[in-house]
Amino acid sequence: MATEARRKIVAGNWKMNKTVPEALALVKELRGVVQALGDKVELVIAPPFVALHPVAKAIEDSNLKLAAQNCHWEASGAFTGEVAAPMLKELGCAYVIVGHSERRQFFGETDETVNKRSQAVLKAGMVPIICVGETLAEREGNRTLEVVERQVKGALAGFSAADVSRFVLAYEPVWAIGTGRTATSAQAQEVHAAIRAQLARLYDGAAAGQVRIQYGGSVKPDNAAELLGQPDVDGALVGGASLKAGDYVAIAKAGA
C-alpha cells in the first residue's frame, strides 16, 4: 500500500507532567529547534488541560500543533470534573488523544466510551488520536490481533470512510508503555499492517491507505528511526521522551 501520501505525525503526550511554567519553558526550547523541520513531519504536543491555553498562545505561528489528552462525549452539562470537546477546540486543539491505555486501565474507559468520545471530537472539528493495544498477558496468549481488532472496530463504529480516513490511530502495546521495553520494528509493523488490512475490510482501500497509524511505547531517539522506517508506521506517540526537548526533537527528526 502506498505510503507517500501519509505525512508522519509525531505527538508528545506529556501525561500528568509539567506545571504551567515548566510547560512554557519546554515549549520555548522546542519552538526554535523544530522550526527547521518545516512541514516535513507533523508535530503535536499534548500538555495537561491546565497548560493548554498558555501553551496554545506560546506556539502561535510555529509548526507545533496542540492536542488534549482526553475529553467527555457530551458538549456541556452536569459532569463535574470533565472537559468537553468544544472547549478544547476553542482553546486551539487540533487533536484529542482518546482511549489511551492508562484511561482504559485506571479510569474505566471502554471501546464504547472511546467511540463516543471520538464522535464528540469529530463533531467539534478536531481529529481523534485513538489508542489501541494489548496487555502482556494478551500478547503471551497470542491474542494481540484479536484484541487490537476488537478495539479498532469498537472505536470506529458508526463512522464513515471519509471520517476515518482523517483519523490517527496509535498502536501502543501496554507492556511497552513507560517500561523501556519497546516492540521490535517487526512486531510493530505486523500489528500496523493488520490494522490497515482491517480498515480496508471495514471501509475501503483508499480510506485505509490514508489513516495514519502511530506507534507508541518507549519510543526514544535511539529506536525511532527503525520504528518509523516501517512501511505502516506513520509516526510516534511519545510519552516519557517527549518531556525532554532534545529527545522529542531527535524523534521528530527521525520522522522528517
Ligand X SMILES: O=C[C@H](O)COP(=O)(O)O
Residue 239 annotated in ligand binding: yes
User: What is the distance of C-alpha 203 from the center of its chain?
Assistant: 21
Closer residue to ligand X in complex, CB, 199/238: 238
CB 255 within 8 A of CB 10: yes
Report the nearest approach of ligand X to the CB of residue 252 (Å): 14
Contact residues: ligand X, CB under 6 A: 13, 100, 172, 177-178, 216-219, 237-241
Is the CB of 55 or the CB of 208 nearer to ligand X?
55
Annotation marks residue 100 as catalytic:
yes
Name the residue type at position 166: R
Residue (45 or 237) nearer to ligand X, CB: 237
CB of 255 to ligand X, least distance (A): 15
Q: How far is the CB of 160 from ligand X (least distance, A)?
A: 27
Q: Which residue's C-beta sits nearest to ligand X?
A: 239
Tell me which residue of 13, 22, 19, 18 sits closest to 45, measured CA to CA.
13
CA angle at residue 241 from 177 to 89, to 5 degrees? Answer: 85
Catalytic residue among 42, 102, 172, 192: 172
In 3D space, the residue among 56, 70, 5 whose CA is nearest the CA of residue 206 turns out to be 5
Q: Phi/psi at 11 (nearest 5 deg)?
A: -115, 135
Amino acid (one-letter) located at 140: E
Is 153 marked within a binding site? Answer: no
Query: Could you give the residue numbers annotated as active site?
Result: 100, 172
